[in-house]
Amino acid sequence: MPYTVEYFNRRVLDEIESWPVGILADYARLIELLMEFGPDLRMPHSRALGGGLLELRPRGREGIGRAVYCFVRGQQVVVLHAFVKKTQTTSKRDLEIARRRMKEVQDG
């Protein structure tokens, strides 16, 4: 698999690991697809949010999760922020967190 996945910090991974089992199982499947297809992964699995941010879109009987990520240094994916959706739209706060973290990752 040509792409590697890292997490911005341990809290992001802890958040994902705390998701309900159905959402977590779909996330695991989508991460494998992301590692295989990279930026070619599209809807319904992944969606561009603009400015280099993308989101993985896992779902399960328990609800919908989102893992916001970006590509850095070629084949590397960094998962910046993750949450279980409670509303139809992604909150501005969640997007701001992801954008701030992406800038931090890209600036080194």
Token pair in block for residue 69: 């990520």
**What's the average model confidence in pLDDT over 11-36?**
98
Spelled out in words, what is the top-level CATH class assigned to the domain 4-107?
Answer: alpha beta
- Domain extents for the chain? 4-107
pTM recorded for the entire structure: 0.95
Query: pLDDT at position 108, please?
Result: 75
Which runs of E-coded beta strand occur in the chain? 4-7, 46-50, 53-56, 59-60, 63-72, 76-84
Cα-based distances in Å from 30 to 44, 66, 97: 10, 11, 22
Which of the four pLDDT bands, split at 50, 70 and 90, describes residue 29? very high
Which amino acid would we find at residue 75? Q
Residues in the chain: 108
pLDDT at 1 over 70: no
Query: pLDDT at position 46, please?
Result: 98
Mean pLDDT score of the chain: 96
What whole-number distance in Å separates Cα of residue 52 and Cα of residue 50? 6
pLDDT tens by residue, 67-88 = 999 999 889 999 999 999 988 8
